[in-house]
Amino acid sequence: MGVTESQGDKEEVITPTQEENEAVEESSSVSQMQLDADYIKANYSFVKPLEGQITSRFGLRENVEPKYHTGIDIAEDKGFDIVAAMEGTVEFVSGEGNYGNHLKITNGEVSTLYAHCNTICVKQGEHIAQGQKIAEVGETGNATGPHLHFEILRNGELVNPDLVLQF
């Protein structure tokens, strides 16, 4: 999509560079994430799933794999209670993959994911109240120490938890 500028009898088509297109895409994805976070804050009630030390925030990271971190990591001793950040229904419980023992709670178009759990205290299909104990801190899957990896999604798209909650 170019812009046409008239210069006397000549028309010049100005086409954005790839870098300009990528900058526009990135700024629109950031603004979409902010829109999603604002929607979540306006329509859902959230509490912190765990008090503890933040060891990794959402987004790009250096010298760590994976480079793009899809949630926020909250370190705490193994066995500490993890509570549901919002009310909803347990969409799934799994022990497979890099997340180790993990679960997802969904309410309408918003989901929360809790990973690396030692123990999961709920079952798929169960309705969960906000603040209800759902799991205990662990270091299952691809984890370097006991912590909770916490994600927020709207319609399947990641939302930076720092935009929804104060950690």
Please answer whether residues 134 and 114 qualify as being in contact, where contact means their C-beta atoms are separated by less than 8 angstroms: yes
For residue 130, what are its two tokens?
């906000």
Please answer whether residues 84 and 129 qualify as being in contact, where contact means their C-beta atoms are separated by less than 8 angstroms: yes
Share of the chain above pLDDT 70, in %: 82
Which pLDDT value is given to residue 130? 98
Please answer whether residues 56 and 73 qualify as being in contact, where contact means their C-beta atoms are separated by less than 8 angstroms: yes
Which pLDDT value is given to residue 5? 44
Which pLDDT value is given to residue 16? 52
Could you report the per-residue pLDDT of 54-64, keeping only the tens digit for each? 998 998 887 77
Instruction: Spell out the residues 6+ positions from residue 115 whose beta carbon is closer than 8 angstroms to its own.
Output: 71, 99, 100, 101, 102, 141, 148, 149, 150, 151
47-163 falls under which CATH superfamily? Answer: Glucose Permease (Domain IIA) (2.70.70.10)
For residue 77, what are its two tokens?
């001793």
Which pLDDT value is given to residue 64? 73
Which pLDDT value is given to residue 30? 57
Could you report the per-residue pLDDT of 107-166, keeping only the tens digit for each? 999 999 999 999 999 999 999 999 999 999 999 999 989 999 999 999 999 999 999 999
**Domains of the chain: which residue ranges?**
3-40, 47-163
CA atoms within 13 A on the CB side of 111: 15
Q: Of 125, 124, 101, whose CA–CA distance to 114 is shortest?
A: 101
Please answer whether residues 40 and 164 qualify as being in contact, where contact means their C-beta atoms are separated by less than 8 angstroms: yes
Residue 84 pLDDT grade (very low, low, confident, very high; cuts 50, 70, 90)? very high
Q: Among all chains, which residue has been given the structure tokens 């929804």?
A: 164
Could you report the per-residue pLDDT of 18-77, keeping only the tens digit for each? 554 444 455 555 589 999 999 999 999 999 999 999 998 998 887 777 788 899 999 999
CA atoms within 13 A on the CB side of 56: 23
Which pLDDT value is given to residue 36? 96
